[in-house]
Amino acid sequence: MGFVHRPVLLRETVHHLDVRQGGVYVDATVGQGGHASAILQAAMPGGRLLGIDLDPDAREYALGRLQPYAGAAHLVAGSYTQMLELAASRGFEGPDGILLDLGLSSAQLEASGRGFSFLRDEPLDMRFDPESGPTAAAIVNTYSYEDLAEVLYKYGEEPRSRAIARAIVASRPLGTTGELAALVSGVRAGARAGVKRRRSGRIHPATRVFQALRLAVNSELESIAEGLRQAIALVRPGGRIAVIAYHSLEDRIVKSTFVRESRACVCPPGAPVCTCEHVPSLSVVTRKVVTPSWQEVTENPRSRSARLRVAQRL
């Protein structure tokens, strides 16, 4: 993997995680190890970190990047939905902090060859773990019109989901990102056919479709909810959970989970008496969502949509 990913909101993440010397941390989406390296640097001497990732290419790169912390960094194949099991099996129960970075890395977009980006003509794969699960091509070429439209609307908030689904069904089989991006561009009113982003700065017409397929292929929204549940169960009292989201669907799940778990009552609004017996498990650290600085967005435009939220275990 020759493309190096630049970690987003790096200083802000280390700061809000309150990384301390000798601390124990879990980077549940370790990727190429950018955040993990900074966390370990701040946690030395004596710090330890468990890095989890499905992507074998990312883990291989992270292994080299974290070599200066050999013995302190432990990398493992898996999903953050397996966090409790993986942490227990490697002696990382009750860590001081947990990080979830929910975005695609630049390396996955630029060099994975798995069709995450419409800027390259690649096979329609989109799996984080290339050894498991259905591909994007399977969804595009086998789903019914109704199911396709639902995927595009539910996971991409695509306003023209039905028109695009109809065009996909009529044009099947589709095998590459270039074919799909060109088709979507042709459907979207006023959009130029092609695969390059518009100079005006507006998002490419296929952005929501590609997001929807990636989320569906990897069951990402369902995984986020489960990953947050496991992070809350795993982190020690007083420990922190930091989550970086990149679009509204992800951020909505993170925000609602943190808010709900910080409340003493989660009864429906208007309930005359509290009957839920809910016990709050979190306090929200970042009352206002943390976004990249102007300088970071200038240096790394892909960071522009990042949103960091942090909560502390009670």
Neighbours of 121 (CB within 10 A): 16
Distance CA 208, CA 107 (A): 20
> Which one has a higher pLDDT value, 113 or 78?
78
pLDDT grade for 288, boundaries at 50, 70 and 90: very high
Q: How do residues 145-171 score in pLDDT, each as one tens digit?
A: 999 999 999 999 999 999 999 999 999
pLDDT value for 132: 79
Q: Which of 3-12, 112-121, 170-179 has the lowest mean pLDDT?
A: 112-121
Q: Amino acid identity, residue 269? A: P
Mean pLDDT lowest for which of 57-71, 85-99, 142-156, 221-235? 57-71
* 313 and 239 Cβ atoms separated by less than 8 Å: yes
Residues of the chain with CATH 1.10.150.170: 113-218
What integer is the mean pLDDT of 215-229? 94
Long-range Cβ pairs for the range 36-43 (8 Å, 24+): 36/62, 36/65, 36/66, 36/73, 37/65, 37/66, 37/69, 38/7, 38/10, 38/13, 38/14, 39/14, 39/97, 39/99, 40/66, 40/69, 40/72, 40/73, 42/14, 43/19, 43/72
Q: Residues 88-144: pLDDT tens digits?
A: 999 999 999 999 999 775 555 565 677 888 888 899 999 988 887 899 999 999 999
Q: How confident is the model at residue 3 (pLDDT cuts 50, 70, 90)?
A: low
Q: Is the domain covering 113-218 a CATH 3.40.50.360 domain?
A: no
Kindly report, as residue ranges, where domains of CATH 3.40.50.150 are found in the chain.
10-106+220-313
CA pseudo-torsion sign 186, 190, 192, 197 = negative
The whole-number pLDDT of residue 5 equals: 66
Express each pLDDT in 298-314 by its tens digit.
999 989 999 999 999 99
Q: Output the pTM of the full model.
A: 0.88
Q: Residue 54 corresponds to which tokens in the numbers above?
A: 């499905």
Q: Helices 207-218 and 145-156 meet at what angle, rounded to 10?
A: 100
Annotation: CATH topology of 10-106+220-313: Rossmann fold (3.40.50)
